[in-house]
Amino acid sequence: MASLSYLLTAAALTSSLASADILIGRVTDTLGNPVPQTNLDVFDAATGNELTLTGDFTAPDGSFALVVPAGTYDVVALPPVPPTTTLVGQQVDNVVVAGTLNLGTIVLEPGVVLTGRALRPGGTPAVGADLEGRNLTTNRSVVLSVVKTDTNGFFSTTAPAGPFRLSIDPGIDLPLAAPTLLELDLGATTALGNIQLAAGHYLTVTALRPNGTPVVNADLDVLDSVTGVKLLTSNDNTNAAGVASFVVPTGTFDLEVCAPTAMRLVPQLLPGVVVNGPTNAGTVTVPSGAHLFGSVRNAAGSLVPDIDIDLFLPGTNTKVLTCDDDTNLAGQYRTTVPFGTFDVLFEDVRSDCPESVLVSNVTISADTNLDANMTGPGLGCRYCMPGIANSAGRAALMDASGSASVAQNNVTLIARDLPPLVFGFFLLSRNQGNVAQPGTSAGILCLSGSVGRYNRPNQIGQSGTAGIISIPIDLTQTPTPVGFISILPGETWNFQAWYRDNTAGGNSNFTTGLTIAFQ
C-alpha cells in the first residue's frame, strides 16, 4: 500500500492535472527492488538552472510524480547516502516534457563507499568543497550521492567500482588551495583519510581578437609543462573584458585558450608559464579560423560517438592544437582549425582493437565538411591492459596502422600517450609475457622468449610535444636476437614500446602490448 504522504501528494496533483505537465517514473536497483527516498533533481537542459520542486522523493514503491513546466530537462536521481544504500546516482539527459511523460524505470547501479577529508594549507578543513566524479572505464561523469564536503571537510559518497577520478574544488576561501584530481582504482570501501590540498595562486590571462576586442567565455585549460597532465581548474572562462583569473598550484604550465566553437577563433597555446605566486600571464591574441565538421560512421554505417579527431602538419607527427574535437553521442563533430593544409586523423582510441582513418592533405580555406568511415577493426588488438601510468599521469598505448597483409608490407608502429620529449624504441616477439618492473623500469614487459628491438639510430624516436613516437617497419627486415628475418603470412607477432621516463617506480616504462595476426 502506498504511503500516506505519497497519496496526499498524488491527490494534490490530481486537481491540477488538466493544466500541469507531469513527469512520472520509478527508481529501482539492478535487481528490480524499489529505491525509496531517492531525490529527483530537475535541471533546465539549456541553462543548467535547477527547478524548485516539492514532493521530489520516490515513494516506498520507488515511484515518483513531479509537476514541472513544459520544457527540456536533465533529470538526476540521487539515492540515499551511505550507509542507507551504496547505489550510484543516475542522470537522464534531454528529457522533453509536454503533458504527462513516463520516464519508465531509472536503474541505479551498485557502487562502493568512498570517504575522505579535504584540508587546506595549514590543515584547516576545506568546507563546502565541490566534489565531482568520472568513471574512467566509460569516460562518463558519475552522479555522486554527496557533492560537497561538510563543515569539517569530510565526505562519504558512493562511486562505481573500477578506475575512477575524484575532483575536489575547494573554492576561493582562504587560505587559498588549488583544485585537486585523484585517480583511484576502487574495489571496495575506500577511506582516503586526510587529503592535503596544495597551496593555490591566482593566474590571470587576457584573450583578445587581433582588432583588440575581448574574447568572451573562452575556456582556459592548464597543462603541466613537464608531464602534459591537465590540471583541474574552475571559473577559468574569460569574462566580458576577455579576462580569466583562477586558482592553480605552484609550477610551470602550458595554457590552452579555447574560444567557443561558434566564434570560429583558432585555439592558442601559451607555453611555459611559471607560477609561484599571483601571476599575470599577459595577453593572448586569438585569430580567426574555420570550422572542420562532419560525421563518423563505422563499417555497418552507424554513427559513432567518442571518436577523436586530430590535425597534424602534413607528413609529420607535429600536432595542431584543437579543442572540442571528439564526436558527440550522435557521431557528429565540429571544431575550429587554422587555415592551411593538414593531415586529419580519426581514431577510436578507447577500443582494445582500435580503428583509425587518416585523411591526408586536407586544405582548409573556409568551413569544411569532412566525413569519415571507420572501415572495420584496426590493425591488431591491444593486450596487457590497462598498463602502468607514466609521469604524464596516463598509461601509454601501443597502436599500429597500415595492413596485416605481408604482401603489402605496410605497417607503421605507433606509441601514444607518452610524456612529452622522451626517447623510446619498439620491441617485438612471437610470444606474449607479463613481467612487472623488469630491471629499473616502472612498467610491465608484455613480451617473452626471443625479443627483437627496433633500436637502430634511425628507429629510435622522440615523443615530441604530442607524446607520440611512430616508425614504418619493413616486414622483410624484422629484428631478432639472431639476425633479421621476414614475417610470413599466418604468423602472429606482438609489439610493444619502451621509453625513458623518470617516476617513483623507475627510470623507464612500457606501453601496452599489441598483437597482430599477419595474412
**What is the C-alpha to C-alpha distance for residues 133 and 438, in angstroms, rounded to an integer?**
34
pLDDT at 4 over 70: no
pLDDT number for residue 13: 42
pLDDT number for residue 10: 43
Q: Are residues 79 and 91 in the same domain?
A: yes
User: If pLDDT is split at 50, 70 and 90, which confidence band does 191 have?
Assistant: very high
Q: What is the CATH number of the domain that holds 439?
A: 2.60.40
Summarised one tens digit per residue, pLDDT across range 408-457 is 999 999 998 899 889 999 999 999 999 988 888 888 999 999 999 999 88
Q: Are residues 400 and 452 in the same domain?
A: yes
Q: Are residues 88 and 119 in the same domain?
A: no
Q: Are residues 402 and 493 in the same domain?
A: yes
Select from 55, 75, 108 the last residue of a domain. Answer: 108
Q: Are residues 452 and 469 in the same domain?
A: yes
Q: Are residues 47 and 83 in the same domain?
A: yes
pLDDT number for residue 403: 87
- 28 contact partners, CB below 8 Å, separation of at least 6: 34, 35, 62, 105, 106, 107, 108
Please give the torsion angle defined by the CA atoms of residues 165, 58, 151 and 174, in that order, rounded to the nearest 10 degrees. Answer: 60
Q: For residues 294 and 371, is the Cβ–Cβ distance under 8 A? A: yes
Q: Are residues 126 and 211 in the same domain?
A: no
Burial label, 1 (beta-carbon count in 10 A; 0-12, 13-18, 19+):
exposed
pLDDT at 379 over 90: no
Q: Please state whether the predicted TM-score (pTM) of the whole model is above 0.85.
A: no
User: If pLDDT is split at 50, 70 and 90, which confidence band does 3 have?
Assistant: very low
Lowest mean pLDDT among 261-270, 397-406, 497-506: 497-506
Please give the torsion angle defined by the CA atoms of residues 457, 436, 514 and 343, in that order, rounded to the nearest 10 degrees. Answer: -60
Cell for 422? 622522451
Cell for 428? 617485438
Span 470-499, mean pLDDT? 95
Select from 196, 226, 255 the last residue of a domain. Answer: 196
**What is the C-alpha to C-alpha distance for residues 414 and 317, in angstroms, rounded to an integer?**
11
Q: Are residues 137 and 92 in the same domain?
A: no
Q: Pick from 392, 391, 292: which is nearest to 342 by CA?
A: 292
Q: Are residues 97 and 153 in the same domain?
A: no
**What is the C-alpha to C-alpha distance for residues 427 and 455, in angstroms, rounded to an integer?**
8
Q: What is the CATH number of the domain that holds 332?
A: 2.60.40.1120
Intra-chain end-to-end CA distance of the chain, in Å: 66
Select from 234, 258, 285 the last residue of a domain. Answer: 285
Q: Are residues 257 and 296 in the same domain?
A: no
Q: Containing domain of residue 50, as a range?
A: 4-108
What is the H or E stretch that residue 11 is in?
helix 4-14
Summarised one tens digit per residue, pLDDT across range 24-71 is 999 999 999 999 999 999 999 889 899 988 889 999 999 999 999 999
Helix (H, G, I), strand (E, B) or coil at 374: coil
Q: What is the CATH number of the domain that holds 260?
A: 2.60.40.10
Burial label, 361 (beta-carbon count in 10 A; 0-12, 13-18, 19+):
exposed
Number of domains composing the chain = 5
Q: For residues 499 and 423, is the Cβ–Cβ distance under 8 A? A: yes
If phi > 0 it is left, if psi is from -120 to 50 it is alpha, else beta; for residue 387 that is left
DSSP code of 127?
T
Q: For residues 281 and 251, is the Cβ–Cβ distance under 8 A? A: no
pLDDT at 407 over 60: yes
Q: Are residues 241 and 173 in the same domain?
A: no
Q: Are residues 394 and 499 in the same domain?
A: yes
**Residue 371: HSE in the Cβ half-sphere, 13 Å Cα cutoff:** 10
pLDDT number for residue 505: 66
